[in-house]
Amino acid sequence: MKILITGGTGFIGRILCHRLLDLDHELIVLSRRPEQVSKLCGDAVAAISNLDDLPTDESIDAIINLSGEGIADARWTRRRKQKLLDSRIDITEQLIAYVAKAKHKLSIMISGSAVGYYGNNYDTEHDEITDNPDDFAQQLCKKWEAAAEPVKDHGVRLCILRTGLVIGKDGGFVKRMLLPFKLGLGGRLGDGNQWMSWIHKDDLIAIIEMLLTSPDLEGNFNATAPEPVTNAEFSLCLAKNLNRPAIFPVPAIVLKLLLGEMSELLLGGQKVTPENLMEQNFRFQFESLDSALKAVL
């Protein structure tokens, strides 16, 4: 397949590009830094900086839309929140516009989202049809998903990936947590009761592969392992795998003072199950958190 990818130079995008090249797919990465694409994604990957550089008669078979500023990279000021929205919605709308005028009909668009779609709560378990009141992360996901929906009007199969916290060796949220835990200064955040729905990077890539090659699959997919954990459980498991204690909790008030509204990401959470994937008999390589952390540490 010839696949157009946005967000290809990000943590997941880089891994995905190398995997798809191994499977002999032809890749085009849309990036603000096209000069870095070959280094980060593979020498065989073509790079463009603008969709206008892509001819309408290009035979694109699939789009994988992972573009977006990192939601936890900076404090949520009004300007930052707008940037988070724009970096997802603008490019998604541009992709829809390209699909509308493309002479070659695409078969599938896989578009990103996150488990933040379900809002923050402690005890409710979410499958793909659950809904809850809005917070910013939920608004962000809903608007991102809504921006992708019109692609179906052009006969393109749409799969939405509601991705959990990705566990990987060279990026993702675990990398940010390693230093304090390695120093023996790690611990739960707040009361530790908030749920963390996670997925190992290899399983996430395998899910994308399955969606690309399964013409009967469409709709929303929770890209999470089947065994979510609380933050307290995660902290203990990470500390155990590093042979360190987890005895220094971070009070909620400290996180709120330091991070403001963005503290919702750390103090809230979602208990998410991948019902649609399990119905398709998808086999997770990493079902338990302990096995996932052992693989990357």
Tell me the per-residue pLDDT of 116-125, one tens digit each, with 9 for 90 and over. Answer: 999 886 666 7
pLDDT at 122: 61
pLDDT at 129: 65
pLDDT at 20: 97
pLDDT at 123: 63
Mean pLDDT of 182-210: 96
For residue 131, name the pLDDT band (cuts at 50, 70, 90): low
Instruction: Please give the tally of structural domains in the chain.
Output: 1
Is the pLDDT at 217 greater than 70? The verdict is yes
pLDDT at 8: 95
Mean pLDDT of 63-77: 94
Mean pLDDT of 61-86: 95
pLDDT at 100: 95
- Print the domain residue range for 52: 2-296
Mean pLDDT of 250-262: 93
pLDDT at 41: 95
pLDDT at 207: 98
170-179, 187-196, 236-245, 287-296: which has the minimum mean pLDDT? 170-179
pLDDT at 172: 83
pLDDT at 135: 87
Closest CA to 98 of 145, 140, 147, 60: 60
Number of helices (H) and strands (E) in the chain: give both, helices first.
11, 13
Percent of the chain with pLDDT over 70: 96
- Please state, rounded to an integer, the average pLDDT across all residues of the chain: 93
For residue 171, name the pLDDT band (cuts at 50, 70, 90): confident
pLDDT at 170: 79
Is the pLDDT at 132 greater than 70? The verdict is no
Query: How far apart (Å, rounded) are the C-alpha atoms in residues 287 and 228?
Result: 9
Residue 159: give its domain's CATH number: 3.40.50.720
pLDDT at 130: 61
pTM: 0.94
Rg (CA), the chain: 19
What dihedral angle (degrees, nearest 10) is formed by the CA atoms of 209, 47, 69, 251? 60
Is the pLDDT at 126 greater than 80? The verdict is no
For residue 133, name the pLDDT band (cuts at 50, 70, 90): low
Q: Which residues contact 160 (CB under 8 A, 6 or more apart)?
A: 111, 112, 113, 145, 148, 219, 220, 221
Is the pLDDT at 113 greater than 90? The verdict is yes
Query: How far apart (Å, rounded) are the C-alpha atoms in residues 185 and 178?
Result: 10
Mean pLDDT of 76-95: 96
9-13, 51-55, 124-128, 149-153: which has the minimum mean pLDDT? 124-128
- Could you give the 3-state DSSP secondary structure of residue 15? helix
